[in-house]
Amino acid sequence: MPQADAFHLSGAAARKYQDHSVPAMFAPLAKATVKKLGLCENDHVLDVACGTGALTREIIATLPGRGRVVGADLNQTMIDVASALTPASSHSVDWMAADVTDLPFDDHSFDVACIQQGLQFFPDKPAALAEIHRVLKPGGKLCLTCWSAISEFNNGLAEALERHVSHGAAQKARAPFSFRDGDLITALLDDAGFRVAEHDIITLHRRFEDLRAQVLALPVEQDMRAKGDAVIDRVLKDIADHLAPYDKDGVFIVPQEAHFFAATRA
């Protein structure tokens, strides 16, 4: 995923995110999240930092009755991909570009708000949670997921980038895992006026069938390409060596863990 401070993604980056990262991680995480979420008939649901809509689409497919579902993301390019993939449904579905700290909704508009792998990228986390609190109805639910540990794939990738490419590229690979402390997230939620009702860990098993294609779909692609093909080969070899314990008949299957929080708005 993109670095924490530069969220202006090109259309090509948004499409690569949808084609590679969504099936590998964000769609399976969305499925696991919605199973735990327990949506109610006719809920109005806001998916903040929705990206290309991995979780939003799962919500649309699962929500009973005729609810309202909104996917909002800072990047118009992500929203463009999301809206092109909107499934047919009985719900009212809207996509919009919006910053989480300035949401274009009235107070108390939603029953449920979700943030799937977005919190770690928000520069002002208390302001983001305060704004979500504002647009949720009293008693409404906030569901959020955030990686709880750096995966061995990203560890191996970051170490290889540090060795062969640059410190900046290694930092980009680590950025999605930069906010992992569950106690800190609980305290942030508490301070923003939420009561944590559930905190659990979701474990995914990410498959790497084509390591080269999957690595070159990441935001570090340009950093690697700038160093030339020989460096790319060295990075890929180091990652493959690092992942050897996860090799199952030529496919690397690597666990990746996320915090799942469900919290109630006071």
Ligand X SMILES: C[S@@+](CC[C@H](N)C(=O)[O-])C[C@H]1O[C@@H](n2cnc3c(N)ncnc32)[C@H](O)[C@@H]1O
CB 255 within 8 A of CB 151: yes
Phi, psi of 172 (to 5 degrees): -60, -40
Closest distance between ligand X and the C-beta of residue 62, in Å? Answer: 15
Closest CB to ligand X among residues 24, 232: 24
Q: What is the DSSP letter of 86?
A: P
The alpha carbon torsion through 66, 85, 118, 210 (nearest 10 deg) reads: 140
Closest by Cα among 121, 127, 143 to 49: 121
143 lies in the site for ligand X, by CB under 6 A: no
The residue within the footprint of ligand X, chosen from 24, 34, 39, 55 (CB under 6 A), is 55
Judged by CB under 6 A, which of 34, 37, 45, 100 binds ligand X?
A: 100
Q: CB of 25 within 8 A of CB of 207?
A: no
Choice between 118 and 140, CB closer to ligand X: 118
Q: Does 179 sit near ligand X (CB under 6 A)? A: no
Residue 256 near ligand X by CB under 6 A = no
Q: Which is nearer to ligand X, 34 or 232 (CB)?
A: 34
> What distance in Å separates the CA atoms of residue 40 and residue 111, rounded to the nearest whole number?
9
Number of residues that bind ligand X (CB under 6 A): 20
**Using an 8 Å Cβ cutoff, are 49 and 71 in contact?**
no
Q: Considering the rule CB under 6 A, would residue 132 count as an interface residue with ligand X?
A: no
Q: Is 122 in the site for ligand X (CB under 6 A)?
A: yes
Answer for which of 75, 109, 151, 256 binds ligand X (CB under 6 A) is 75
DSSP letter (8 states) at residue 63: -
Residues that bind ligand X in the complex, under the rule CB under 6 A? 1, 7, 22, 26, 49-51, 54-55, 73-75, 78, 99-100, 116-118, 121-122
